[in-house]
Amino acid sequence: MLVLTLETTCDETAAAVVNERLEVLGAVVASQDHLHRRFGGVVPEVASRAHVERILPVIDETLKRAGVKLADLNAVAVATSPGLAGSLLVGLVAAKTLALALDIPLVAVDHVQAHVFACRMAAGREVFPCVGLVVSGGHTSLFRCRTSTDFTLLGSTIDDAAGEAFDKVASMLGIGYPGGPKIQKAAAAGNAKAYRLPRALLDDPTRLDFSFSGLKTAVRYQIAGPGKADFANLHLPEQQVADLAASFQEAVVDCLVAKSILALEQTGLTRLCVGGGVAANARLRERLEQEIAERGFELFIPPLSLCTDNAVMGAIAVDRLLAGGSDPLDLDITPGLVRRTAVSP
């Protein structure tokens, strides 16, 4: 079985061809970073227009790399939730068109579940049941994952997503976009103990939620104090930027690591699967590798290319297709996060 998977939830246009053994025959990610850089964040209208321009060339190139023709495809899967409405629609329309023209099944993919499934793709073996930590520009959530698609929300951010905080702090520090990699680079030359920054909700050992907006404000105060600030014309000394980046990064990592361990302890599960763009962060990876192993848990964290948005993780659709499942051609997008009820382990 050959499945074409499409991913256009935010600002990456991605496609992959996978087979029933979850082998990846070809994969392409076209980034739009350069289009959004000058705005300091993803502009939805710019993103959806760029997807329109890229989706067909990306599909063509993916098929070429996989060495397959359109007529060889047995199914098409597409991320329909959550994401930016205009971006999601481009992938969905492309997927529906192929499903109709080729008379093959169409399957919807949940982008958040797919981020956890990236761990299954990278590991090459079973990772479920597990605790899933999805930490990206749009989400920071912990799930009990019974199977690849049976998730219960354990906790999530009550304000900003961790990636969003990385992007905003990088913008205040004037070090560019996207913020995660820039902060990581600046932090390498910094002292993580230079600034005392808040770790919200860490003092509540029962709660699996996160909060990063206070941390972001604390960094702002360190840079410019309260009141109006002209961040574009603030020229901070290099060492101060490095120290703030390192202190901020450590505060985020402290929260992500502590709550992940708490989720493992509360659920009695032994595996932690981490996905999403922030999972590419070297300090987070280092701390998780050390602290998860120390406690006898097992950590699954994909290589960087499978942490940020990609279509390989769309292979989550394979199980459902093998069971004969598919979605109707009037399938719609669900831009908002589907709340997975029961906030208890």
Residue 302 as a binder of ligand KG4 (CB under 6 A): the answer is no
211-to-53, 62, 89, 124, 203 alpha-carbon distances in Å: 37, 39, 30, 33, 12
CA atoms within 13 A on the CB side of 141: 21
- As measured in angstroms, the least distance from the Cβ of 126 to Zn ion is 23
CB atoms near residue 87 (< 10 Å): 29
Under 8 Å between Cβ of 118 and 310: yes
Partner whose footprint covers residue 308, from Zn ion, ligand KG4, none (CB < 5 to 8 Å by kind): ligand KG4
Site string for Zn ion, 300-319 (x = CB under 5 A): ---------x----------
Closest alpha carbon to 192 in 231, 238, 156, 242:
242
Partner whose footprint covers residue 137, from Zn ion, ligand KG4, none (CB < 5 to 8 Å by kind): ligand KG4
* The only residue of 163, 190, 314, 345 in contact with ligand KG4, by rule CB under 6 A: 163
Partner whose footprint covers residue 281, from ligand KG4, Zn ion, none (CB < 5 to 8 Å by kind): ligand KG4
Residue 87 as a binder of Zn ion (CB under 5 A): the answer is no
Under 8 Å between Cβ of 162 and 256: yes
* The only residue of 104, 186, 263, 278 in contact with ligand KG4, by rule CB under 6 A: 278
Decide whether 155 or 181 has the Cβ nearer to ligand KG4: 181
CB atoms near residue 236 (< 10 Å): 18
* The only residue of 3, 6, 10, 246 in contact with ligand KG4, by rule CB under 6 A: 10
Closest alpha carbon to 144 in 10, 13, 314, 263:
263
* The only residue of 91, 276, 302, 314 in contact with ligand KG4, by rule CB under 6 A: 276
For the beta sheet containing 24-31, the strands, ordered from the edge strand earlier in sequence to the opposite edge, are 24-31, 12-19, 2-7, 75-81, 106-110
Residue 184 as a binder of ligand KG4 (CB under 6 A): the answer is yes
Residue 160 as a binder of ligand KG4 (CB under 6 A): the answer is no
Residue 168 sits at the vertex; the CA angle it makes with 163 and 169, to the nearest 5 degrees, is: 100
- As measured in angstroms, the least distance from the Cβ of 291 to Zn ion is 24
Cross-strand partners of 4: 17, 76
Decide whether 136 or 281 has the Cβ nearer to Zn ion: 136
Spell out the alpha helix ranges (H) of 7-145: 33-36, 44-66, 85-102, 111-123
327-to-107, 318, 319 alpha-carbon distances in Å: 5, 13, 14
Residue 178 as a binder of ligand KG4 (CB under 6 A): the answer is yes
- As measured in angstroms, the least distance from the Cβ of 179 to ligand KG4 is 5
Decide whether 73 or 274 has the Cβ nearer to ligand KG4: 274
- Residues that bind Zn ion in the complex, under the rule CB under 5 A: 136, 309
Residues that bind ligand KG4 (CB under 6 A): 10, 136-138, 163, 166-167, 178-181, 184, 276-278, 280-281, 308-309
